[in-house]
Chain A
Amino acid sequence: MSTPTITRKISTRESTTVTLLLIGVALAYLLLFLGLPLVAVFVEAFKKGWQLYWEALQEPDAWSAIKLTFIAAAIAVPANLVFGVSAAWAIAKFEFKGKSLLITLIDLPFAVSPVVSGLVYVLLFGAQGWFGPWLQAHDIKLLFAVPGIVLATIFVTFPFIARELIPLMQSQGKEEEEAAVSLGASGWQTFYKVTLPNIKWGLLYGVILCNARAMGEFGAVSVVSGHIRGLTNTMPLHVEILYNEYNFVAAFSIASLLALLAVVTLLIKALVEWQAKRSGEPLHHGA
């Protein structure tokens, strides 16, 4: 019995030299493009010591940028969560015409450059835009103000939760929900007691990715922000301003917070993947 096993192993494996070479190339590539930049952010941030690092973070403009970033994410993520759940409920649990077109349209914001995502809101709400004169007449400021930043953030993170939940809920079918309803449960009861426990890991997965993008978005927010220090700067925009002023330590200090957010995101993501695998809930791994 043992002889065929050995020949089989030899015949479908590469030689040790090739194996080591491939692992070496892969690790060198990842180290060069991922490892080194991640380390460099923190090295640059602490280059002039802890003192300057703390001072950079306590600066009032930095604080207001941190606050605005959290406000934008705190509105965009729940809004897209409600949308993602209702889109997935309609698409996964019912049969209707035009479903695949709807799925394609939901993915649309991923196909658009971040800069163009900001541009469309300038075209709508800018002084020369469709609603510009009306907004001006009523003294409402959307563009170059917080509402514009929130809208642009919602746009770029629009598909994250929906595209995570749609395939997941489609793969789970609707028999369990139908059983609950025929036993007399209301729609909301069915959702909370039957659907939600089945999709909790996928939901969390989508929320984490959505949040990381919401807090880190640069291009779209940059176009609608107006870059008013202390008022309409998010953390990524503040990083840009500091960097362009050659204030590298301060720029990398703020950047290190965002890098920390990225690392925490990756950690939770790996944890969620592991939990989902254990509970047998298939995750849709997507960008």
Chain B
Amino acid sequence: MSSFKAHSVLPGFNLALGFTLLYLSLIVLIPLSSLFFKTATLGWGGFYDVATSDRVLASLRVTFTTSFVAAIVNALFGLIVAWVLVRYKFPGKRIIDALVDLPFALPTAVAGITLATLYAPNGWLGQYFAAQDIKVAYTPLGIVVALTFIGLPFVVRTVQPVLADVEAEVEEAAASLGAGRWDVFRRVIFPAIFPALLTGFSLAFARAIGEYGSVIFIAGNMPYISEISPLLIVAKLEQYDYAGATAIAVIMLLLSFSLLLAINALQWWSSNRGAR
């Protein structure tokens, strides 16, 4: 025991850790492991067939491109929102600041039916797009709208504290050496907040890939065009194709994990470069 745990005078370690591990195993680990056992029943050939079927590939393409676009939109505008909330004073700022977390608090189904109604061809916003012959609801563009809503708080909330910590002295030093405002932002502020921006981007991206509730109402769910992978999982389940559904789930997990690994590597590289 002594090599596993350092000595402490506090009581309750065995009870606390024991309960934690039991609960974690029962609720999370054992259920999740069933994914891999179920996939194994397909065998490599069966798994490969599901993974490379046209409809699955199309749904993965739709899911990952719309999630990527939504995360880019959120990175750009989230940075501006974080900047405005940290640097400027204006009336109603505290309410706006609190409102940023709305997508975390609003149930996804509510967001889904509301966005679908707003962006439908006769909706408040959809009518203006319809006048330009642009369809938003029931197309991949609608999926991007829903995923942008869902991922909105991530970039703002990761960049905000880092931006607030950028020391005024560094900016003053750069400015007094003759750097213009844009140069100061580009060469001093942006490198400091870039790792946080990347974290926010990857959190928004990861959340978007798995998102279901807000998307299905606005997507139109046309196979090959606007059908996301989580919906395809549900469709397979409704046909009692449990192995097929599980295979898609495993592919999604593997893809998102490798993506997050790549983003982590990029982050490690950029923060090391900054430290030099």
Interfacial residues, chain A to chain B (CB-CB below 8 A): 8, 11-15, 18-19, 22-23, 25-27, 29-30, 32-38, 40-41, 44, 82-83, 86-87, 89-90, 93-97, 102, 105-106, 108-109, 111-116, 119-124, 126, 128-130, 151, 154-155, 158, 174, 177-178, 181-182, 186-187, 190-191, 209, 212-213, 215-219, 222-223, 235-237, 239-240, 243, 248, 251-252, 255, 258-259, 261-263, 265-267, 269-270, 285-287
Contacts and interface: CB of A to CB of B under 8 A. Distances in A.
Contact of B110 (A30, A32, A34, A259): A259
Contacts of B9: 178, 181-182
Given A22-B84, A187-B10, 20 more contacts: A11-B175, A12-B171, A13-B181, A30-B96, A34-B100, A86-B20, A90-B13, A93-B10, A94-B6, A112-B253, A116-B233, A121-B31, A123-B34, A123-B35, A128-B242, A262-B105, A262-B106, A266-B105, A267-B98, A287-B203
B5 interface: yes
Interface stretch (B50-58, B129-137, B147-155): B147-155
A89 B16 CA distance: 7
A155 B31 contact: yes
A215 B20 CA distance: 24
B27 A154 contact: yes
Contacts of A120: 31-32, 34-35
B206 A158 contact: no
A111 B257 CA distance: 9
Interface string B178-208: 0001001000000000000000000100110
Contacts of A216: 105-110
Give the dominant DSSP class at B's interface: helix
22 contacts: A14-B181, A25-B80, A26-B83, A40-B117, A41-B114, A94-B8, A96-B13, A97-B5, A102-B24, A108-B28, A114-B212, A115-B230, A116-B35, A116-B249, A123-B242, A158-B28, A182-B9, A222-B213, A239-B110, A252-B113, A255-B110, A270-B94
B105 A265 contact: yes
A123 B246 contact: yes
Contacts of A248: 117
Contacts, number: 290
B212 A266 contact: no
Contact of A236 (B15, B81, B109, B184): B109
Nearest to A218: B213
Contact of A111 (B84, B115, B206): B206
B210 interface: yes
Nearest to B250: A116
A51 B34 CA distance: 49
B245 A285 contact: no
A182 B19 CA distance: 25
A interface SS class: helix
Interface residues of B, number: 96
A25 to B, nearest CB: 6
A19 B13 contact: no
A115 B105 CA distance: 19
Q: Which 6 A-B pairs have the closest CB atoms?
A: A216-B107, A113-B210, A218-B213, A219-B212, A187-B11, A95-B6
A96 B106 contact: no
B106 to A, nearest CB: 4
- Looking at A14, A19, A218, which has the most chain B CB atoms within 10 Å of its CB? A218
Contacts of B153: 287
A37 B34 contact: no
Interface in B71-125: 77, 80-81, 83-85, 88, 90, 94, 96, 98-111, 113-115, 117-118, 124-125
A87 B20 contact: yes
Given A44-B117, A115-B210, A285-B157, A33 B17 contact: no
B261 interface: no
A119 B233 contact: yes
Contacts of A114: 210-213, 230
B217 interface: yes
Nearest to A33: B149
A223 B234 contact: yes
A258 B110 contact: yes
A261 B9 CA distance: 43
A212 B101 CA distance: 12
